[in-house]
């Protein structure tokens, strides 16, 4: 039977891990996950298109996967949101700061994201930290901030599934064909040929190291031959983002994998369309949970957290849709679902918490600290 530390021991261990990670020169080799935790990976799903609790917690038939997470994990039905514009509110989940960014802003935030905290403090490589986004130029800004101490060097690998696995790119693939698989020892020969090249003055530094570039290259080729590009219909961008994330999890086993979903904002024009998107997304989340549960390595080491950036109005608009601007409880209180090996099971925490608490909570799981965030770790989350 595994050892479960009590609260005092837990705090001591996580504090020690955090302190160790801040030592100068603490790098990837120096990092070991907190012995107090089983969690080695976190998947953070941000419903960044505005989703009310009524259609999730209040309608289990819509969301069997989230319901499973609730049954086997911790639910926070009273999560106060940080901003009422999609962009700033979603960014707040990643920075742990109530962002002032407007709905149409297309700029990186000034506060570090959880990706930057984790890469900086734990010495993780870019291949360990991924963000799969449903699309939109704005949302690529989530991978890193403009903070002078952090920034691109500590950013997440970002992939927008709808940008690369879309009809346009598919047409190019149909025209040119998928690259031929390297046969026999061709891959090794290719590596040897590349190793001979000595770029005068050295190559410009890249986000990923060469080995990770090769792995991502292989992943793209696999995706081009797979089914992600074939997803069509309403909410396709979200489903692609989850499908891509599922494949990234399977192939790269990153420490942190975030997914931003946007299609629920179709609610402005159609309530029924909005509910359908929630259902379809939940189906894909169910597949993600299954990937985790079917994999011996992932099963006991992966946590999943799902939370909307905000809800939606209480009443339908004149188009039978749902806007977001009435200041109602439906808009300003959302439900967060936490599922993982270190979390309590079947627990509902009614206490008022905040969406900005997500960032320090993810950091805490790895023994890192969101140093520019004043938010708190979600209470009563961990098994005692």
Partner 1 sequence: MRVDPSFQRLVCIDLLGRTALPEERRAWSQGSLSAEQLLDELLARREFWETWYENQLFFYLLLDNFRPATAALDELPQQLLEGRLGVREALRAVLISSSFNARNPGPDTFVSTVLEQNLGITVQKQPALLEAGKKMYDGYRGKLLNAAGASQADVVRIVVEQEGFLAHYLAREHRAIFGHDLPKAELEAAVKRLAAAPLEYPRILREWLLSERYRERAQRRRTKSDHAFIRSLYVDLLGRVPTYEEHQRIRNAMQSFSDAAPLRSVISRMLLDSGKVMLPENAAADPQGFVRESFQRFYGRAPSAEEERGYLAALKQGQVSPSLVWKALLTHPEYQTY
CB of 213 to partner 1, least distance (A): 5
148 binds partner 1 (CB under 8 A): no
Pick the closer one to partner 1 by CB: 98 or 161.
161
User: Could you give the string, one character per residue 214-243, with x where binding to partner 1 holds by CB under 8 A and - elsewhere?
Assistant: x-xx-xxx--x-------------------
156 binds partner 1 (CB under 8 A): yes
The DSSP secondary structure of 74-105, one letter per residue, reads: EEEEEEEPS-SSHHHHHHHHHHSS-----TT-
Pick the closer one to partner 1 by CB: 158 or 336.
158
Helix (H, G, I), strand (E, B) or coil at 334: strand
Residue linked to tokens 């530390």:
5
Pick the closer one to partner 1 by CB: 155 or 286.
155
What count of other Cβ atoms lies within 10 Å of the Cβ of residue 38?
Answer: 17
Of residues 120 through 139, those in contact with partner 1 by CB under 8 A are: 126, 131, 137
22, 153, 190, 211: which one binds partner 1 (CB under 8 A): 190
The DSSP secondary structure of 20-82, one letter per residue, reads: HHTSTT--GGG----TT----EEEEEEETT---GGGTTT-TTT-HHHHHHHHHSEEEEEEEPS
* Rounded distance between C-alpha atoms, residue 369 and residue 144, angstroms: 16
* Rounded distance between C-alpha atoms, residue 17 and residue 241, angstroms: 33
Longest dimension (CA), the chain: 66
Pick the closer one to partner 1 by CB: 30 or 178.
178
1, 6, 148, 176: which one binds partner 1 (CB under 8 A): 176
Pick the closer one to partner 1 by CB: 160 or 302.
160
> Dihedral of the CA atoms 275, 88, 355, 71 (nearest 10)?
30
320 binds partner 1 (CB under 8 A): no
161 binds partner 1 (CB under 8 A): yes
* Rounded distance between C-alpha atoms, residue 362 and residue 123, angstroms: 16
* Rounded distance between C-alpha atoms, residue 35 and residue 19, angstroms: 14
197, 233, 296, 318: which one binds partner 1 (CB under 8 A): 197
1 binds partner 1 (CB under 8 A): no
User: Could you give the string, one character per residue 14-33, with x where binding to partner 1 holds by CB under 8 A and - elsewhere?
Assistant: --------------------
Q: Is 110 exposed, middle or buried (0-12, 13-18, 19+ CB in 10 A)?
A: middle
> Dihedral of the CA atoms 319, 321, 323, 326 (nearest 10)?
90
179 binds partner 1 (CB under 8 A): yes
Pick the closer one to partner 1 by CB: 217 or 329.
217
180 binds partner 1 (CB under 8 A): yes
CB proximity list for 303: less than 8 A, separation 6 or greater: 39, 41, 42, 43, 338, 339, 340, 341, 342, 343, 365
Q: Where are the alpha helices (DSSP H) in 150-185?
A: 161-164, 167-176
CB of 167 to partner 1, least distance (A): 9
- The whole-angstrom distance between residue 179's C-alpha and the CA centroid of its chain comes to 30
* Rounded distance between C-alpha atoms, residue 235 and residue 51, angstroms: 14
8 binds partner 1 (CB under 8 A): no
Pick the closer one to partner 1 by CB: 164 or 348.
164
Q: Mark the segment that binds partner 1 (CB under 8 A) among 41-49, 53-61, 101-109, 265-273.
A: 101-109
198 binds partner 1 (CB under 8 A): yes
Pick the closer one to partner 1 by CB: 80 or 214.
214
Binding site for partner 1 (CB under 8 A): 100, 102, 104-106, 126, 131, 137, 140, 143-144, 155-164, 166, 168-169, 171-173, 175-180, 186, 189-190, 192-194, 196-204, 206-208, 210, 213-214, 216-217, 219-221, 224
């Amino acid at each position: 039977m595994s050892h479960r530390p009590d609260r005092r021991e837990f705090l001591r261990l996580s504090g020690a891990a955090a302190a160790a990670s801040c030592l100068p020169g603490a790098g990837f080799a120096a990092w070991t996950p907190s012995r107090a935790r089983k969690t080695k990976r976190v998947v953070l799903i941000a419903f960044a298109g505005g989703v009310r609790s009524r259609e999730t917690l209040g309608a289990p038939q819509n969301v069997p996967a989230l319901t499973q997470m609730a049954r086997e994990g911790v639910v926070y039905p009273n999560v106060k949101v940080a901003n009422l514009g999609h962009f700033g509110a979603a960014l707040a989940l990643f920075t742990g700061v109530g962002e002032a960014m407007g709905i149409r802003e297309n700029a990186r935030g000034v506060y570090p994201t959880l990706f930057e905290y984790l890469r900086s403090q734990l010495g993780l490589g870019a291949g360990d930290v991924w963000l799969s986004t449903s699309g939109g130029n704005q949302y690529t800004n989530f991978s890193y901030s403009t903070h002078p101490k952090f920034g691109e060097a500590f950013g997440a690998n970002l992939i927008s599934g709808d940008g690369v696995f879309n009809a346009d790119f598919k047409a190019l693939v149909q025209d040119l064909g998928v690259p031929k698989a390297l046969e026999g020892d061709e891959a090794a020969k290719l590596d040897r040929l590349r190793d001979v090249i000595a770029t005068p003055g050295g190559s410009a530094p890249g986000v990923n190291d060469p080995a990770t570039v090769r792995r991502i290259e292989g992943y793209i080729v696999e995706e081009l031959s797979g089914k992600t590009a074939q997803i069509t219909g309403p909410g396709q961008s979200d489903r692609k983002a989850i499908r891509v994330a599922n494949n990234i999890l399977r192939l790269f086993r990153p420490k942190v994998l975030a997914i931003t979903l946007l299609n629920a904002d179709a609610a402005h024009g159609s309530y029924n369309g909005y509910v359908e998107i929630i259902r379809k997304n939940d189906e894909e989340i169910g597949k993600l949970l299954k990937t985790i549960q079917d994999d011996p390595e992932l099963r006991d080491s992966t946590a999943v957290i799902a939370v909307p950036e905000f809800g939606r109005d209480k009443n339908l608009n004149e188009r039978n849709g749902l806007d977001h601007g009435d200041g109602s409880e439906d808009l300003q209180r959302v439900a967060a679902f936490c599922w993982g090996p270190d979390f309590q099971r079947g627990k509902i925490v009614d206490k008022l918490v905040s969406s900005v608490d997500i960032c320090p909570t993810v950091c805490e799981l790895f023994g890192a600290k969101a140093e520019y965030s004043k938010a708190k770790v979600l209470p009563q989350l961990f098994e005692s």
